Structure formats: structure tokens, C-alpha cells
Structure 1
Amino acid sequence: MKRNVLLRFSIFLKGMAMGIADIIPGVSGGTIAIITGVYEEFLSTLNRIDFKIFKLLFNGEFKKTSKKYNLSFLLSLSIGIFTSIIILSHYITYFIENYPIALWSFFFGLILSSIFFLFNQIKSWNLKNFQFVFTTKLYLLVFGLLIAIYIQTLNPGKNEINNIYLFFCGIISITAMLLPGISGAYILILLGAYETILNTLKEVVKLNLDYFLNFFSFILGAIVSIKLFSKFLTWGYKNYKDNTLSCLIGFMIGSLPVLWPWKTEIISKDFFIYNLYIPSFNSKNSTLIEGIIFMLLGIGVVFILEYLSKKNAKEK
């Protein structure tokens, strides 16, 4: 597919929009890809890539490789995605350190509204006459919820995250990023690796060699995920969408405590749990109003994205 400079720049900008979504928990890069009209081409291009690409590149057949694997599109989009991720990683770590209540409240609002919209996508559930009871979808929702709760109790401390775990995080988070409505960054938070990945990106940009192994472990996991799971995942999403969404919704509901802005950690030798609370409104230094405002802001962002996504689908 021949592309001029202007079209490549347009794809680059769409990639930047996806990158912004990929690094913010609750916002899906897949949803942005649908809104901008590149989702199907992105998936088909990823599924097309195989090990023959290395042979063609090694033999110097660059034009043939670019045409066969749609590299003009993939490179423009990928550069845009990574540009946003690298730039935003600096700002998000700053907000985590200096404005944690505002940031986590915003993220909580994003996820809460995402659950609502994902739930509405399951058309076969009829809440009025309780047709959702004792169905496979309900069992899968409960299964996802229990898995999320279990993962939280085993959530490793920052100092215990090793390269094997980062490889695993790369597989899981990139797999999630390929699905519309599912946030890979949110999965990283649940796995306890979100801040570690953000910090790694910051240090890699500074050419800090101590973090390169962490970075490559995560990227290798992402590559394995794209190669091995993208076809299976998209097939399952298309053919068993309701069941897939049910499990994911349960997973997201069960992991909401991770994002709750007001919590303390109760740590034991083998696991930890969260003690959730709501700050007093009358307290002099109460952060309740701040939290509510940013939660509503997060909810509003997802509503706008869903509106744009539906509008784009109707126009097609």
C-alpha cells in the first residue's frame, strides 16, 4: 500500500493518540484505533508478520519486505505510539509522586465507566427478567473477579519485580491492549508493575544501561504476545465476544480496590490486602472533593470516547 508523506504523518498522529491511551489506565488503545479507523489494518498487519521478514531484510529486499508486511503503515503507527508513551511516562510518574489522590481518582473514574460500557456490550444479558443468572457468562464474570482478587493478594513489591516477571507482564498487558475497551496499563497496575515500567522507560530514554535489561524483558514479552496470541485473541473476541467480555468485566470489578485513591496496605509475609476508606468531608485537609472531581472527569473522558467510537461506526 503506497503512502505519501502526509498520509504517513496522519498515521503517526493516530499512533500518538493510541500511545496516550495505552499509558493511561482505563483508556483503551484498541478503542482509539477504532475511532481513528486503523484498528482492522493494525490487526491484519500484526497477524501478517512472520519469521520470513528477517530473511528478506537480511537479503536487502527492503521494498519487497515493506510491501508484503505493510511496514510503511506499521512503522508510522508504532513510532507514534512509542513517542507518546515515552513523553507521557515522565508526566505520569510526576503526578503519582506529587498528586496521587487526583491521579488515582481519575483512573478510578476511567475504569468505573469502562465497566459500564463493556457491560452494555453484552446484549444477551437481560437484567429485567434475570436471564443473566446461572449462565456461562455469569460464571465467567465471577471467575474473572476471583482471579483479580487472588492476583492482588500476591502482588509483588517493587523491589521483588524481576525480568521474568516483566516478561510475563509484557505478554499480558500487550494482549489486553489489542482488545477494544480493555486497558493494558490497567493490567500493569493490577500486576504491580505499572510504576516500574514507567520508571524503566524514563531511565532508558536517559540511556541508563542499568534499566535496559528490564526494558528488553518487557518488550520481548510484548513481541511474544503479538506473535502467539494476537490471532487467537482476536478470533476469541469475534466469535465468543460475550463470554470474553464477561470474564474481563469480572476481572475489572475485582481489581477496583487497586485504583481506589484512599487506601492503606495491610502487609503480611506472603500477601497483602487493601484497607479502603473514605476521608471525612469536614476534615481541614480533606481530599474528598478533589477525588470526586477527578473521578467525574475520568468518567467523562470514557463517555466522550465511547460517543466518538459509536459515531465513527455509524459513519462507516
Structure 2
Amino acid sequence: MTPRPGIREHAGIYLRGLMMGACDIIPGVSGGTIALITGIYERLVGAIGSIDPASAKHLARGDFASFQADLGKIDIPFLVVLLAGIGTAFLVMSGVILSLLTDHAVGTYSFFLGLILASAVVLFLEIRSLRAATLAYLVVGTGAGFLLAGLGHLDVGHSLPVLFLTGMVALCAMILPGISGAYMTLVLNQYEFMLAALRALSLPEIVAYIAGGVTGLLIFTKGLKYLLTTHPEAMLAFLTADARLGKDALGEGVSGRGYADRRLDLLHRRSRHRRRGGVREEALYGQRGLSPGGFNNILPF
């Protein structure tokens, strides 16, 4: 059984969650890095790693003793308080960033670009020797960056399955120091849409994103942790090369004035038409002069 933290420790964990959430919502800044420098990274990884998906089977079979034993292995108070801080920061910062993207799009995206390039420099400085294998990973990472940069031109839309997959990728990135989950959400062309969903409290989109994130954490965290532990320089080289993606994704996407307002309007109208069982999503986009995959006229990445 994990120890119960006191009120003072709860407050410290909550403040760390606030800092992590504020960083996780900004492309180019990693909440995992905040967890590392504030001394809770190992505890966080351990808490997530102790979650056993088999616990759901115990609960479904009515084996409450085994289920309770599984819960006792998880640092639940820590996770709940930390997630409360992260969630608070998300709700507060989403409105702030939406306002900045609407009124100061060029400056805001330029700021994001600077953060991403700075992160790449920090990662590159962690590489102690440029061996052939490390250079190979740099090449592979650059190729992956160009490949992912092209995703913004695909007609992926903002359907719930797409948001689920985006959440899987983004939350796996958030848990790793030096990797920005918001950056990956931006790459997948879902960043401003999810900010608008948070501000409008559009539950279907939010639930799909979070469900994907939880699934991704449970599936991929151990594998990603293994790669960073056993092949740190190769992984750093790969991630450094991927910063090229940030330049391609952000360098041209700085003309999004008014985009956030249209996304908020769309979410409210989608919510109303769901309750009426009415028109299709494509019709809603068409009324605004948009198409589900046609955001490249606004953010061409």
C-alpha cells in the first residue's frame, strides 16, 4: 500500500501538475521535463507503470479482492492530485492560447517555433558522440519529420477516431522529457480544434482524446521507456532530427487569424445538431466556407 501524502505534499503535487499542464498545452515544451526537474518523474512513471489492464478483468469477474489488491499497488492519491493540476492548467490556458492565436497568430506561432527549435538544440547537446549509428538515426528522424509534416495535407478531419489516435500519440509524448505532446497534436492538425473543444467543454471530443491518451500510455509507455533507457543517444538523435518537422509545421502556419472563433462556432453547432439528430458534419463545415479536411487554407502545414 502506497503512503498517504499530507496536505502540504498534496499542494506541492498539485502545483507541479499546474506547471506540467501549462507546459503540455504549449507546442515545443514538455511536461515530462517539468516532472523531471521537479523531482517527480520516476514516481510518475512508476505510478503509470503499476497500472495493470488485467485489473479490469478482475472487476468484470467480480473478483473484488484481486481488484482491490491491484489498486493498492497504484499511487492513486498522487495521480489524482497531479491530474487535477494538469486539468486545471489545460482549462485555463486553452482560453488564453486561443485568444493569442486569434489576435496574434504570427507572433504566437513564431514563439512556438522558437520553443521547438530550442528543444532540438537541448536534445542535440545531450548526444555525446556522433557515431555512424547515431547519424543513421538522425537521417531516419529527418525522414520521419518530413513524412509527418505531410499529414497536415491529408483529409483526416476531426472525427472521434482521429481524435482518439491523436490522444494516443500526444499523451505518450507528454510523458517523455524533451518531447511535446502539444507539438504532436499540432503536427496532426488537431491542436486548435482541441483547444476550442476544451474551451467549449465539448465532451465527445474531449473524452475521445483522453481515452486515446490513456490507451496509448498503457500500451506504449513501457516500450518508449525501454528505448530511452537502452538506446538514449540513438533516441535523442531521432528526436533532434524531428525538430525539422517543427520548422515545416510552424514556419508557414502563421496566418490563422479568426480560426479559433470558427472552430468554437463549429463545436457549438455540432453539439446542437447532435441533440436534434440533424444534419451531417460536412454541411456544417460547408456553411462556414470550410471542409472537414480543408484547413490548409488557414494553417497550411
Q: TM-score, normalised by structure 2?
A: 0.77
Would the alpha carbon gap of residues 273 and 95 (structure 1) be closer, same or farther in structure 2, given more than 3 Å must change? closer
Superposition pairs for residues 161-180 of structure 1, below 5 Å? 161-180=158-177
Residues in 1 aligned to 2:136 and 2:298: alpha-carbon distance in whole angstroms: 25
Equivalent runs, 1:49-60 vs 2, <5 Å: 49-51=51-53, 53-54=55-56, 55=58, 59=64
Q: How does 1:67-78 map to 2 (within 5 A)?
A: 67-78=72-83
Structure 2 residue 216 is matched with structure 1 residue 225: yes
Q: Kindly state the Cα deviation for residue 141 of structure 1 after the two structures are TM-superposed.
A: 1.6
CA distance in structure 2 between the partners assigned to 1:158 and 1:84 by the alignment: 31
- For the pair 1:79 / 2:84, whether they are aligned, the reply is yes
Alignment of 1:175-214 (within 5 A): 175-204=172-201, 211-214=202-205
Once the two structures are TM-superposed, the CA of residue 40 in structure 1 deviates from its matched residue by: 0.2
Once the two structures are TM-superposed, the CA of residue 106 in structure 1 deviates from its matched residue by: 1.1
Look up the match of 1:144.
141
CA contact (8 A) 2:106 2:255 kept: no
**Which whole-Å CA distance do the structure 1 matches of 2:7 and 2:84 have between them?**
14
| 8 Å CA contact 1:144, 1:254 repeated in 2 | no
- How far 1:10 sits from its partner (Å)? 1.0
Point out where structure 1 has 5 or more consecutive residues left out of the alignment: 126-131, 205-210, 277-316
With structure 1 as the length reference, what TM-score do the two structures score? Answer: 0.74
Counterpart position of 2:287: none
Work out whether 1:24 is the aligned partner of 2:26: yes
Q: 2:11 is aligned with what amino acid?
A: F
Moved more, 158-167 or 33-42: 158-167
Q: For the structure 1 residues 262 and 193, does the alpha-carbon distance in structure 2 shift closer, same or farther, using more than 3 Å as the test?
A: closer
Shift of 1:139: 2.1
Q: Tell me the CA shift for residue 151 of structure 1.
A: 2.3
Shift of the alpha carbon at 1:190? 1.1
CA contact (8 A) 1:158 1:192 kept: no
Deviation at 1:154, TM superposition (A): 3.0
**1:182 CA displacement:** 0.9
Number of residue pairs the alignment of both structures matches: 259
* Counterpart in the other structure of 1:238: 229
Residue 73 of structure 2 aligns to a residue whose secondary structure is: helix
Give the counterpart letter for 1:46 in structure 2: I
Amino acid at match of 1:219: I
Q: CA deviation at 1:52?
A: 5.1
* AA in 2 matched with 1:154: L
Given that 2:109 and 2:254 are in contact with CA atoms closer than 8 Å, whether structure 1 keeps it comes out as no
2:129 aligns with one of 124, 141, 163: 124
Give the 3-state SS of the residue equivalent to 2:152 in structure 1.
Answer: coil
Deviation per residue, 1:80-105 (Å, 9 max, x gap): 11110111001101100001122111
Deviation, structure 1 residue 56:
6.5
Matches within 5 A, 1:254-273: 254-260=245-251
> Percent identity, aligned pairs only?
31
Return closer, same or farther for 1:263/1:7 CA change in 2, 3 Å cut-off.
closer
